[in-house]
Structure 1
Amino acid sequence: MFYGIAAAATALLATAALTAVLRRVALRTGVPGRRTTGRAGRRVPRLGGVAVAVVTAAVTAAGACTGLAPLGSDALTLLLAAGAVALFGFVDDVRPLGARPRIAVEAAAASVVVHTAQLGFFVGALAVLWIVFVTNAGRLFDSFDGVFGTVAVVTALGLSGCAAAEGLDAPAAALGVLAAALTGFLVHNWYPARIRLGSCGSLFTGFLLASAAVLVNAGHEALPGAGSLFGATLVVTADLVLVTVSRKLAGRPLFRGGGDHIAHRLRRLGLTPQGVAVVLGVASLVGTVTGVLLHSGAVGPLAALGPVGLAVLGVVGLLRVPVYGVRGQRSRGRKVVSAAAIDLGSS
């Protein structure tokens, strides 16, 4: 108990401090190359994920080295695979590499995690696809102040509880540290955001959460396990489905950033930026609690219909919110869209 509190406090404070340092470095040097324009023309660096990944790994490694929280093979493999994805994400932040190499790296790292979980070929293949799906959903979701960090904290805490219940102490500790590190990052990412996760942090976080969910649910029955996986990633899954359908209907590229995510649509409906983060955090809490109850066997598989129904209704309803601006008059239209993006807090 004492170690858990000390590790969480250390991760929170260290991430908050390191994020502040990295923000100054990014603004002075222009690294990473891709930066976003926030309110009033402020530049918002995309380097915060480096702090989250480094502190999560460092605090977890310190616990292992001191013997207070030994790393088993599962947790070590999980962190190394997530670290490889984070490293690729950092390179992608500095010099965009495209979707194909990113998906290839994610699939390779996911295959290593799935092999450790000792899943069969068919189930393992589905698990790899699901990890890649959630990882990229997290990357696309990192587009609004405070949202992805809030949702990820809730998810990490829920999965940490599930891992602890399964006797997976090392993954549980790592997930707890991740939640604390993300909380420290949120100090700088809450509206108005001064820094974002970038590909490094969003890929690291999404991959770690998705892979941990697979490890935690390995060996469980198919329906409760699938329901638990979906519940834990309710918001990011619904967001990716919404964006995919919306861009497909509009004939827009899937992997290009834009202000058409759940958060942007809620903002257009009148919610404040802080309200958007809170609403999506609550939605994530509902899904995560449902996933935890399914995982523990406290409720039956039919309980998953609640989050599924919520996600479907949300996607269908939010598809009706206009987000792509007015056609015609290109130069003027770009100014209108740009102003709207600034007002929405989009990247």
Structure 2
Amino acid sequence: MLYGIAAAAAALLLSAVLTALLRVPALRLGVVDRRRRRPVPLSGGVAVAVVTCLVAAVGDESGVVPLGSGVVETVVAAGCVAVLGLAADVRRLRWWVPLAGTAVAAALVVPYGETGVVGGALAVVWIAGVAGAFRGLDHADGLAGSVGVVAAFGAAACAAVELMEGIAVLLSVLAAALAGFLLHNWHPARAGLGAGGSLFTGFLVASAAVYARAGQGIGTGAGVLFALTAVACADAALVVLGRRLARWPVTRGRPDHLGHRLRRLGLAPRAVTVLLGAGALGGTVVGVGVHTGAVSGEALLWTGAVAAVVVLALVRLPVTPVFRPRQRSSDASSQVTGQLRVRSG
């Protein structure tokens, strides 16, 4: 317990410092978020992945908190996923490459002995899907990190109930590392998470949650896993449904995520993050409550119903860009001044 607290505190501090230190190198190397009008270095993803793996490795090697059988492999696989995501940030890999790589990594770490072959195959699809959904959440300042913190703590609570101390400490370290990164990612962001950090977060949270729920039934287990990642799943469902209805290629980027649509309703950037973070907290509380038996399984149906209502309510909102580039205003003013001079002449 004491090591878990100390590890989380160290992870928070190291992540905050490393994110700041890597900002300049990321800018010089051009590792930035290309979707923004100003260059935001993607130093946060590297910091979160490195710090999480490093602190977990120290705890395992020292014997203070052994990660346990299969968990070490999960950490290694998550690190490989982070490297693949970083490659996608740098080289713009085709959309299916990170997804396929994440699925392969998931297939290597799923506990088939507890899940069975069918359950294990579904778990592989789930892990890869959640990792991709977290990557999709990385479209607004602070959003992926905030949802990741909540989901990691929820999965850690589920693991702690099952006496999986290694997984619980690992997820606590991940949550702390994300919290340290958020010190630089709150609007306006000075550093971003990128595909490397978001895929790493989604993969580790989903894999650990599968370990915690393995062998406890597919039906309720799927509901708990959904509740722990409800916001990420709702965002992915909204994107797929909206693009299909608009006859837009699903794999082609578009400003149609939850954050984009909430901005269209007039919410400020920080308000969007807080609102979706609160939604993630609500789903996580339900998931942990059902897992521990404190809440009836019917609460999972309510969680799914709320997510469905949100998706259906927002799917028809326009998805045109919310803001106009700032440079347009100066160009327009210069054009107006020129026209006035012509007219006066």
State TM-score, norm by structure 1. 0.90
In the alignment, what sits opposite 2:56? 60
Offset, 1:273 = 1.0
Aligned match of 2:315 in 302, 306, 319? 319
In the alignment, what sits opposite 1:218? 214
Instruction: Work out whether residues 33 and 192 of structure 2, in 8 Å CA contact, stay in contact via their aligned partners in 1.
Output: no
Q: Which amino acid is 2:43 matched to?
A: L
CA RMSD, Structure 1 to Structure 2 (Å): 1.8
Deviates more, 1:46-55 or 1:114-123: 114-123
Offset, 1:308 = 0.6
Count of equivalent residues: 327
Distance 1:154 1:228 in 2: 14
Distance 1:295 1:124 in 2: 19
Offset, 1:279 = 0.6
State TM-score, norm by structure 2. 0.90
Per-residue CA deviation, residues 2-25 of structure 1 (Å, 9 max, x unaligned), is: 212211111001001100111111
Deviates more, 1:5-14 or 1:66-75: 66-75
Aligned pair 1:135/2:131, yes or no?
A: yes
Distance 1:146 1:101 in 2: 26
In the alignment, what sits opposite 2:33? 35
Instruction: Work out whether residues 74 and 117 of structure 1, in 8 Å CA contact, stay in contact via their aligned partners in 2.
Output: no
Instruction: Work out whether residues 18 and 51 of structure 1, in 8 Å CA contact, stay in contact via their aligned partners in 2.
Output: yes
In the alignment, what sits opposite 1:333? none
Secondary structure, aligned partner of 1:196: coil
Distance 2:67 2:303 in 1: 33
In the alignment, what sits opposite 1:339? 325
Offset, 1:46 = 2.3
Per-residue CA deviation, residues 156-176 of structure 1 (Å, 9 max, x unaligned), is: 001101101101110100000
Moved over 4 A (4+): none
In the alignment, what sits opposite 1:306? 302
Per-residue CA deviation, residues 56-78 of structure 1 (Å, 9 max, x unaligned), is: 00011111122211121222121
Aligned pair 1:294/2:324, yes or no?
A: no
Aligned pair 1:26/2:26, yes or no?
A: yes
Distance 1:260 1:277 in 2: 16
Distance 1:99 1:279 in 2: 29
Aligned match of 2:246 in 243, 250, 253? 250
Gaps of 5+ in 1: 326-335, 343-347
Instruction: Work out whether residues 242 and 316 of structure 2, in 8 Å CA contact, stay in contact via their aligned partners in 1.
Output: no
Distance 1:37 1:227 in 2: 34
Distance 2:64 2:218 in 1: 34
Offset, 1:213 = 1.1
Instruction: Work out whether residues 223 and 301 of structure 1, in 8 Å CA contact, stay in contact via their aligned partners in 2.
Output: no
Deviates more, 1:93-102 or 1:124-133: 93-102
* Inter-CA distance 106–29: structure 2 relative to 1 (3 Å threshold): closer
Offset, 1:117 = 5.5
Distance 1:130 1:117 in 2: 17
Aligned match of 2:263 in 264, 267, 280? 267
Deviates more, 1:279-288 or 1:297-306: 297-306
Instruction: Work out whether residues 78 and 204 of structure 2, in 8 Å CA contact, stay in contact via their aligned partners in 1.
Output: yes
Instruction: Work out whether residues 111 and 211 of structure 2, in 8 Å CA contact, stay in contact via their aligned partners in 1.
Output: no
In the alignment, what sits opposite 1:147? 143
Q: Percent identity?
A: 51
In the alignment, what sits opposite 1:83? 79
Aligned pair 1:175/2:161, yes or no?
A: no
Per-residue CA deviation, residues 192-231 of structure 1 (Å, 9 max, x unaligned), is: 0111111110110011111111111001123321111110
Distance 1:311 1:210 in 2: 19
Q: Which amino acid is 1:25 matched to?
A: P
Distance 2:17 2:129 in 1: 32
Instruction: Work out whether residues 12 and 176 of structure 2, in 8 Å CA contact, stay in contact via their aligned partners in 1.
Output: yes
Distance 1:194 1:258 in 2: 23
In the alignment, what sits opposite 2:237? 241
Per-residue CA deviation, residues 40-68 of structure 1 (Å, 9 max, x unaligned), is: x4211223101000000001111112221
